[in-house]
Structure 1
Amino acid sequence: MHRSKWVLLALSCLLVIIAGCGKANNANTSAANGNAATGGQTKELRDVKFVLDWSPNTNHTGLYVAQAKGFYEEEGLKLDILLPGSGGADAMVASGEVPFGISYQESVTQGRTQGVPLVSIAAVIQHNTSGFAAPVDRSIKAPKDFEGKTYGGWGSPVEEAVMKSIMDIDGGDVNKVKIINMGEADFFTAVKRDIDFAWIFYAWTGIEAELRGEPLDMLYVKDYSDKLDYYTPVISTNEKQIKDDPELIKAFLRATSKGYQYAIQHPEEAADILLNAVPDLDKDLVIASQKWLSPKYQDDAARWGEQKQSVWQNYSDWMYEKKLIEKPLDADAAFTNDFLPENK
């Protein structure tokens, strides 16, 4: 459920990949609009690829619901959901290898300031559900309590910058935290072996901890600064896709929005659909996670997927202040609500 450990490496490779590819797949730019069935005649469905950021989980449920319920077929589309390749989802989307994928505001921001043409077209979750988590026996109740503890991460400069930001607010010193790369170990293995806390999405790892009977102290980063209440994850496309085939994006988001709306209204049924599509997932975890996460997809937004300019501006300003990006972001170009369906 956490972001890829190779985000920075993938971003560094994107410009090379884009230069090599330079064009969208012909299948992504061919005309194939309209419903799957009209007037008794069946039209050929248009194949559309979507790449996940990680293994399937409840961040992705709306996609699987829309696929199972035929919402994509109603738009004349046949969705193929892919796992990311070695270069990562952002590279695949930015290069035009696939038209859509899961990304994060953080990586879209980093990418765009390096000339990578990613654009966020929908927020999967309206508010940041991530934060620093520790078993309760580590007595981490506030950011200052990170002092003297060991943090396990994936090696991104963003981690220490966020930690420093919230520790500064609480009067703590980030230099008193031991930071290590936890590698491929999962959270539960790592906290038993060599770390005290890590950055998690509560909807997955936090819910799993509840089911295991291993209570956590959870410090949500958004609770310490409005600038850290950013969109994670998002659905992204690339600038060429927007220019060449905006109607495909509209059709894709009409179906996807229906999938997430269904998951909001029917979390248990949506969980069953995800489990049917990915039977290797833990049933109890998926159901409990879906119940926790479904209300948070849209939350206080006017419609699912909607993004605010202020959220993009605030977070990119924070990244620039912390020297995580080399120049300010043109926030208006980094996202768009133009392709989301209007509320009915």
Structure 2
Amino acid sequence: MKQLALLSLIVSCLMLSSPVSAETKDELTAEQKYEKRMELYQKAEALTSIPWHYLAAVDTFERGLRRTLKNRPREEGVISIFYTEEEWAGPLNPDPADTNPLSIQLFGGVGLDGDGDGLAERTNDEDVLYTLAHFLERYGFAEQDFRIALWEKYQREQSVNIIDGHSKVYKHFETLDLDDHAFPMPIRSTYSYRNTWGDKRGWGGRRIHEGTDIFAGYNVPIRATAYGRVEILGWNKYGGWRIGIRDLDNIYHYFAHLSGFEKGVEVGSIVSPGDVIGYCGSSGYGKPGTQGKFPPHLHYGMYRDNGYTEWSFDPYPYLKAWERQDYRKLKRG
């Protein structure tokens, strides 16, 4: 009976799946894109037994890379996983655009036929996703097997950690629709801020201010701004009591100078926009426990990862957008 159910699922996926061109993709709503991606992830899971949230995590990480790396072309479908021509067709293949699965295999390429049309196409969502799932399948199905496979693919611990975190977030919420954001303080609270990104800072050596300061009273709740996973929690001599959360755009959100943390929040915690994670304070600029060297405020920073390095960027426009969004929600009740 189980084999019959599995066969039925695969047949259903084959009947429902259809290639998505760049033009068609642009016409899809966000909800339709989520549905299409989930359909493809679940089909690949049925064929290989690789959990869908593993596939979604890699695809999401690579979608972030497509947005930041100039040498990555825009994806043609709804799947963003990228292979170079050399990887796909094989380093010694005289035809870098080869789509024949047999000759690709002969020349050491990774490309596989995932939709059963006899072609292994580097721009076909199903072929690309099946190729990735087949690669992961070789290492096993446990979480540690997944991390080993990711290391073999990316050769970078930070990339492994980011993708593993994405996987845990998707598994926790069981959906792809996780794009909402929230302002880091309750809209009803009293606070003030301006764009302070790039200002000079002197304590601990000359450096620039990599964030926006939001001034408020002691113990005003500090909230997660996105869906994500807590990467870091504890003391930093510059930021005092601080929390770092990685979202599904590969962006690291940095909350510093807290007076303390919300009970139950720890490294590995999965958070939603608006979840209270700590409280406004004036900690930092010294040894653990140092307080009061400046007025209470939240230092909020954002850092983007491109698969090779990480850098800060101005969070002010995002804060203004999330603030307006929360005001609209408040007015709607």
Is the shorter-chain TM-score for this pair beyond 0.5, marking a shared fold?
Answer: no
TM-score normalized by structure 1?
Answer: 0.23
Greater C-alpha Rg: 2
Q: Which has the higher contact order (CA 8 A, sep 6+)?
A: 1
Higher helix share: 1
Structure 2 length normalisation: TM-score?
Answer: 0.24
